Amino acid sequence: MFIVKSYPLAVLLCIITMLCWGSWANTQKMASKRWEFPLFYWDYTFGIIILSLTLGLSLGSFGENGQAFFPNLVQASLNAILLALLGGIIFNIANLLLVAAIDIAGMATAFPIGIGIALVLGVILNFIAVPIGDPILLFVGVGFVTSAIVVDALIYKKISSGKSTRKGILLSLAAGILMGFFYRFVASSISTDFINPDKGLLTPYSAVFIFSLGIFLSNFLFNTFFMYQPVTGDKVSYSDYFTRGNPKLHSIGIFGGMIWALGMLLNMIAAGKAGFAISYGLGQGATMVAAIWGVFIWKEFKHAPKGTNSLIWLMFILFILGLGLIIMAKNV
């Protein structure tokens, strides 16, 4: 299977993760005018499974190093499989809660609370489990990225309607805590030695595939709830998925899931050289990538009040500083 052998390549893959995790939501934005999020989310889930299986059968099966995709799945212990499945289940409910929080409280409240908590908690948990890198540089870097997310919140607050409810904040807190835990469960199912995997443990390729199955299976519970009990808008049914959907709408959702899954798999592959804490920390900088889309592509701040541009530049400076410190943490 393909294995990362250099730290610079690992950093590059983490940067691609940022791009993927910060960009997949554009597909939902493209489909949102004609397609409710719960319906889009089914296709998004299919996309994650398709991409993870495709890469498992290709990059995860060829080459002389490591263990091929199917042989690794066959020898996996029940404990490793359950950990990867649990990671998918936790991620799924966290992702859906975050979307619900955004609908209720707005981007300015939900995103900084949810992703900020996930970033800090995720890095701490993964560093405790696998302490790779300089902790001072790592956590100072995380602090800078978190500060950039807070500035991002101030920017969105300037252009948002200011809606915020206790329910939205509570959903954001729950989403952030769960989002901070999901990665550790998946990482725990993977052998830290990718070349000679420990018996019973998974490779990144098989772990992400099982993780995707956890998302899909839990969707029948969690996403069904949001279909029939929507936070905002009208409820939808399973028949709507088939009668209102068309090839274009379905392909947009599948593509969105494939983008996210590519980021997840590359992040896990990079962790073999960078460590899980650094990989996760770099990947969760995706919030800034989403902000870049908002600023330069969707022109969300075109009519923002005076002073917004200064905050935008401050946000990007803090993010770049944090990113640099997180990268440097491994070289010390």
Output the pLDDT for position 164.
58
- Helix, strand, coil share of the chain (percent; to 5): 75, 0, 25
Q: Could you report the per-residue pLDDT of 117-169, keeping only the tens digit for each? A: 898 999 999 999 999 999 999 999 999 988 988 888 788 777 666 555 678 88
- Low-confidence winner among 154-158, 251-255, 296-300 (lowest mean pLDDT): 296-300
183: β partners: none
pTM exceeds 0.85 for this model: yes
Q: Where are the domains of the chain?
A: 19-134+162-285
Determine contact, residues 308/156, Cβ cutoff 8 Å: no
Mean pLDDT of the chain: 90
* 127 or 285: which leads in pLDDT: 127
Binned at pLDDT 50, 70 and 90, residue 107 comes out as low
Residue 311 has pLDDT above 60, yes or no: yes
Determine contact, residues 184/130, Cβ cutoff 8 Å: no
Q: How confident is the model over 94-98, as a mean pLDDT?
A: 91
Query: What CA–CA distance (Å, rounded) separates 302 from 309?
Result: 10
Q: Could you report the per-residue pLDDT of 27-63, keeping only the tens digit for each? A: 887 887 788 889 999 999 999 999 999 999 999 999 8
* 288 or 65: which leads in pLDDT: 65
Closest CA to 46 of 186, 256, 235, 210: 256
Residue 171 has pLDDT above 80, yes or no: yes
Output the pLDDT for position 240.
95
